[in-house]
A and B are shown apart, each in its own frame.
Chain A
Amino acid sequence: MERAVRLKVNGQEHRVLVPPHRTLLEVLREDLGLVGTKHGCELGECGVCTVLVDGEPALSCLVLAHEVEGHEVTTVEGLATDGQLHPVQRAFVESGALQCGYCTPAMVLVTKALLDRVPEPSGEQVREAVAGVFCRCTGYVKILEAVQAAARRLREARA
Chain B
Amino acid sequence: MLRLPAFQLLRPATVAEATHMLAELGPQAAPLAGGTDLLPKMKRRQLQPRYLVSLRGLRELRGWSGSPEQGLVLRAGCTLAEVAAQPAVRSAYRALAEAVAVCSNPILHRMGTLGGNLCLDTRCTYYDQTEHWRQALGWCMKAPGPRTPEEVPCRVAPGGSRCWAVSAGDGAPALIALGAKVRLVGARGERVLPLEDLYRDDGIRYLDKSPDELVVEVLLPPADGLRSTYRKVRRRGSLDFAALGVAAAVRQDPDGTVTSCRLVLGGVASRPLVLEEVASLLVGQRLEQEVLERVSEAVYRAVHPMDNTDFTVLYRRRTAPVHVRRALEALAS
Contacts and interface: CB of A to CB of B under 8 A. Distances in A.
Q: Let me know if chains A and B touch directly in the complex, using CB atoms closer than 8 Å.
A: yes
Interface of A: 1, 19-23, 25-26, 39, 41-45, 47, 50, 56-59, 62-64, 66-67, 110, 128-129, 131-133
A45 B52 CA distance: 22
Contact of A45 (B5, B56, B111, B239): B239
Contacts of B52: 20
From A39, A58, A59, A128, residue with most partner B Cβ within 10 Å: A59
A21, A56, A58, A129 pick with most chain B CB within 10 angstroms = A21
Given A56-B110, A132-B108, A20 B1 contact: no
A132 B3 contact: no
A42 B1 contact: yes
Given A62-B36, A67-B54, A132-B108, A42 B2 contact: yes
A128 B40 CA distance: 23
A42 B43 contact: yes
A43 B2 contact: yes
Contacts of A22: 4
Contacts of A129: 106
Contacts of A58: 107, 110-111
A100 B167 CA distance: 38
Given A20-B9, A64-B9, A64-B35, A133 B4 contact: no
A21 B8 CA distance: 8
28 contacts: A1-B8, A19-B6, A20-B6, A20-B7, A20-B8, A20-B9, A20-B52, A21-B4, A23-B4, A23-B39, A25-B1, A26-B3, A42-B1, A42-B3, A43-B2, A43-B43, A47-B105, A57-B110, A59-B111, A62-B39, A63-B35, A64-B32, A64-B39, A67-B54, A131-B105, A131-B106, A131-B238, A132-B108
Contacts of B1: 25-26, 39, 42
Q: Which 4 A-B pairs have the closest CB atoms?
A: A132-B107, A20-B9, A42-B2, A21-B4
B27 interface: no
B2 A59 contact: no
Nearest to B10: A20
A67 B10 CA distance: 11
B237 interface: yes
A18 B7 CA distance: 12
